[in-house]
Amino acid sequence: VAALISLSFGGAVGLMFLMLGCALPQYNQYWPLFVLFFYILSPIPYCIARRLVDDTDATSNACKELAIFLTTGIVVSAFGLPIVFARAQLIYWGACALVLTGNTVIFATILGFFLVFGSNDDFSWQQW
C-alpha cells in the first residue's frame, strides 16, 4: 500500500511541475503538454516484450533488448522536446526547466511502478 501511495504522489508531483511549466502567468504557453504522449508511449514497448518473452531464459533476449532501446528513445525524446521548444523560442527556459524536472519525476515514477509491480507474484500488473 505504501508503494502505491508513493507512486501516486510521484505522479502527481511530476504532473504539477509540467502544469507549472505551462500555466504560470510569465510562461503561458501550452506546447510542453506534448510530452504527455511520451509518458503514455514509454511503457508500451516493454509491456509488449514482457508478454511475448518468457523469463525462464537466463541469456539476453533480442525482443527485450529492442523494447529497452525503443523505450530509451522515447524517454530521450521526452527530454529533448522541451529543449527544442526553448531553443526555437516557443517556450521560455524557465518553463523548460520545470518540464524537465517533471519529466525526471514522472519517468522515475514509471520505473518505480515496474520495479514494484513487475514481479510474477499473485498480485501484479500483468493480471490487468
Q: How large is the average pLDDT for residues 63-70?
A: 92
CA distance 80 to 17: 17
Q: Can you count the helices (H) and strands (E) in the chain? A: 5, 0
CA distance 57 to 36: 34
What was the pLDDT predicted at 120? 56
Alpha helices in 24-92 (DSSP H): 35-41, 44-52, 62-87
Confidence of residue 67 (pLDDT cuts 50, 70, 90): very high
Domain range list for the chain: 1-122
Residue whose C-alpha cell is 502527481: 12
The answer to whether 26 touches 92, Cβ cutoff 8 Å, is yes
